[in-house]
Structure 1
């Protein structure tokens, strides 16, 4: 099987949709001799900040000398980005080989009346097998959606569970209240495990505390009152957290300082559990961490940033960051969204006071058309252009934004990668 054939096979599984539950992934892994049972994990759930927190944690672990697997989703440009060992993507040839192996197991499952695994279940199984083959010491495992019924939750008790910022997203699957959404995230909490939790609102924290009590798990809450931001500019941020002075990160936005603080807290808990992690490894790990597509600067003069914010919580964090980086400045935005997102809240949060908006249609069957988005945005921005392609929006925004100005493309990870490939 070639890499292209592997991509086609996986792409064709999209017709099976999304089926929350662990039965199918469990059966597939059983037929693969359960590679997931031979690995150690840091398991991360949350609405926003999962990927950035995973990047910080895996970077600290690598600096500590651990061979570290990292599984994240979705990808920005290539599907192989989702499965990395020590920051190196899975090779296309091995991706194809593992797809062929999994395809043969699926054939047997179907012959025995089983269900066809989804795209995400196939990639999760592939990641487990690859990390096992590579001899990873530890795997940083990001939940795809929710937690309780997510296919990554097939693992036994991890070395540590992490819950990042919880807010509204995927309400059609996870529930309409913040408590219901939090309960799904808390589904990763295992009996007798340890959980590091972001400082969420009391309604969310109460749900996590209850789940920990029921499972006899130990909760470690990250206290953000210990954070002091020293410097913020377009190159990165310097901050102190508890006894750690002048920590540096290259990721932009105050929310990334909070995600970094969670990663430091994770490192401390892991150290207490026997991991060999020094302060030097924490400092270097934070500094070297990269996470493409999150307030990433692609060019300067005018500044061109991309951000994966695709729900109200993410857009609120983005707005706060942009106000800090470009005080008093009217920005140009490129925006594309999926139709099942709460885009009205996103528009109301970020558009008032903007210079211009270019709307695009992300490459997804769930996308809201650029024209429909423009219609919804009229209330908040008078200067709107509907663009046929992402490339057109990028070109027009660069031509029409003055030197010294700033452009930010956001709204969906389904088109951010295309912007990145045009400018990188």
Structure 2
């Protein structure tokens, strides 16, 4: 049974979102991009975390548009804070959540003086990592880098750039140059920076900022990791991200050997062990395949133009049996060109197209949901109109939840469907609550089992 304190912590955390929206309209809000850093500093002081403690964390700072790992979460927010690769337990989440929240609540100077959702989770993560005395911290940005609240750190060992694409354009700008400039803000003097191959305009900006920040930048090619046996993701995705991970891990260990004063404590980089770790890595919500009754579900949280192109090719390479129909389940939130994104999926020639909010079961009280449902349903109506204008022969439906969509898909068992679920990563999470409620065992003490 889910503990009441965990439910209360999630409810309290989610209220921080509406709180931040309220603050935008209040006299206490001063809209400036550097406010994130100033507010983070002030909140760290309120939590009695000084910068020297933060400096003691051995940090790998990661940014990019694709290939990231912890944010947003799929089923539970504790996926965002992990120890030894596993989400912290609900008990540990509650312990640290209330320690941080109570302190901030007691030291606020006005009723709105609490950090917004992601800033709070970043503060909580720092609190967890310091208290649990971790050996290495892998820190993923929220949005961008330059003005991101994670960029309060001063001395990362290594920074890494996964593939860059047009996303969060309302915040980061609508060009790859602007996005690259913002992402490059995580570069710090003395750190080593690694990037996968980027579009030329983005790469030029990264190189310029590496000189400006006195942070040497090395480009990694996919040749470093070519062992893709039994890989679920496309080979180029594994090669690209695997090569980056290997380079970052090796650099971190080499730097750590030079800064650690413990003798004897010399670590060596084991390439074979590192490759095996990559092969064993679970990447929930990306290029997942699930079998259920008359349906094969293909899941990938692709929400940019380039990622949707790869996803559609991946789906088509597997959906090859002519006797099976093709279905799409799609949602997109935020500022995105839905018409262009949906147009990229036309080549899949779907027989059934379903639009739905990021909701698993609309008959129950929503848990850990941070997007307004009615806004999403309105967006579904817009998506339906877009698809109608494509003049395809597909049946088009809107459902209020995945369970309702599943009833429709499974109503006639003789109809076999290959179902592509893509768009919002939150949508993928809503579907996985039914198809894989423990994320292959990653969430060991969860209560999300749903069935029909």
Note whether the superposition's TM-score is higher than 0.5: yes
Cα separation, 2, equivalents of 1:399 and 1:114: 49
In the alignment, structure 1 residue 26 sits paired with structure 2 residue 76: no
Describe the superposition over 1:34-83 as per-residue Cα deviations: whole angstroms up to 9, x where unpaired.
353331111110111122xxxxxxxxxxxxxxxxxxxx211100111111
Counting matched residue pairs gives 387
Describe the superposition over 1:379-401 as per-residue Cα deviations: whole angstroms up to 9, x where unpaired.
34431122232212233234568
Unaligned regions of 5+ residues in structure 1, if any? 52-71, 227-240
The 1:127–1:251 alpha-carbon spacing in structure 2 relative to 1, beyond 3 Å, is farther
* Shift of residue 222, structure 1, vs aligned partner: 1.1
1:169-188 mapped onto 2 (5 Å cutoff): 169-188=167-186
Quick check: 1:248–1:286 contact (8 Å CA) kept in 2? no
In the alignment, structure 1 residue 47 sits paired with structure 2 residue 59: no
Using structure 1 for the length normalisation, give the TM-score. Answer: 0.84
Describe the superposition over 1:167-226 as per-residue Cα deviations: whole angstroms up to 9, x where unpaired.
1111111111111111111111112211110101110000100010001111110123x3
Corresponding position of 1:4: 7
Paired residue for 1:143, among 133, 141, 144?
Answer: 141
Describe the superposition over 1:212-250 as per-residue Cα deviations: whole angstroms up to 9, x where unpaired.
0001111110123x3xxxxxxxxxxxxxx3xx6635464
The 1:402–1:140 alpha-carbon spacing in structure 2 relative to 1, beyond 3 Å, is farther
In the alignment, structure 1 residue 194 sits paired with structure 2 residue 192: yes
In the alignment, structure 1 residue 252 sits paired with structure 2 residue 233: yes
Quick check: 2:61–2:160 contact (8 Å CA) kept in 1? yes
The 1:247–1:308 alpha-carbon spacing in structure 2 relative to 1, beyond 3 Å, is closer
In the alignment, structure 1 residue 288 sits paired with structure 2 residue 280: yes
Cα separation, 2, equivalents of 1:378 and 1:343: 13
In the alignment, structure 1 residue 341 sits paired with structure 2 residue 336: yes
SS of equivalent residue, structure 1 residue 162? strand
Which moved further from structure 2: 85-94 or 297-306? Answer: 297-306
Using structure 2 for the length normalisation, give the TM-score. Answer: 0.79
* Shift of residue 107, structure 1, vs aligned partner: 2.8
SS of equivalent residue, structure 1 residue 42? strand
Name the Cα RMSD after superposition.
2.5
Which moved further from structure 2: 114-123 or 268-277? Answer: 268-277
* Shift of residue 331, structure 1, vs aligned partner: 3.0
The 1:344–1:245 alpha-carbon spacing in structure 2 relative to 1, beyond 3 Å, is closer
Corresponding position of 1:261: 243
In the alignment, structure 1 residue 355 sits paired with structure 2 residue 366: no
The 1:335–1:291 alpha-carbon spacing in structure 2 relative to 1, beyond 3 Å, is same
The 1:336–1:402 alpha-carbon spacing in structure 2 relative to 1, beyond 3 Å, is farther
The 1:398–1:112 alpha-carbon spacing in structure 2 relative to 1, beyond 3 Å, is closer
Cα separation, 2, equivalents of 1:401 and 1:199: 45
In the alignment, structure 1 residue 38 sits paired with structure 2 residue 61: no
Cα separation, 2, equivalents of 1:30 and 1:92: 26
The 1:190–1:48 alpha-carbon spacing in structure 2 relative to 1, beyond 3 Å, is same
The 1:339–1:246 alpha-carbon spacing in structure 2 relative to 1, beyond 3 Å, is closer
Quick check: 1:24–1:116 contact (8 Å CA) kept in 2? no
Paired residue for 1:375, among 375, 385, 400?
Answer: 385
SS of equivalent residue, structure 1 residue 166? coil
Describe the superposition over 1:322-361 as per-residue Cα deviations: whole angstroms up to 9, x where unpaired.
2333358673111111152221221011123223211112
Paired residue for 1:412, among 424, 431, 446?
Answer: 424
SS of equivalent residue, structure 1 residue 2? helix
Cα separation, 2, equivalents of 1:50 and 1:173: 19
Quick check: 1:43–1:142 contact (8 Å CA) kept in 2? yes
Describe the superposition over 1:142-173 as per-residue Cα deviations: whole angstroms up to 9, x where unpaired.
11111111111111121110011111111111
The 1:339–1:113 alpha-carbon spacing in structure 2 relative to 1, beyond 3 Å, is closer
Quick check: 1:251–1:291 contact (8 Å CA) kept in 2? no
Greater per-residue strand proportion: 1
Corresponding position of 2:78: 80
In the alignment, structure 1 residue 421 sits paired with structure 2 residue 424: no
Unaligned regions of 5+ residues in structure 2, if any? 25-30, 258-266, 360-370, 437-452
Corresponding position of 2:362: none
In the alignment, structure 1 residue 93 sits paired with structure 2 residue 91: yes
Cα separation, 2, equivalents of 1:339 and 1:246: 36
Which moved further from structure 2: 128-137 or 312-321? Answer: 312-321
Quick check: 2:169–2:335 contact (8 Å CA) kept in 1? no
Max radius of gyration: which structure?
2
Cα separation, 1, equivalents of 2:219 and 2:227: 22
Quick check: 2:298–2:315 contact (8 Å CA) kept in 1? no
Quick check: 2:100–2:124 contact (8 Å CA) kept in 1? yes
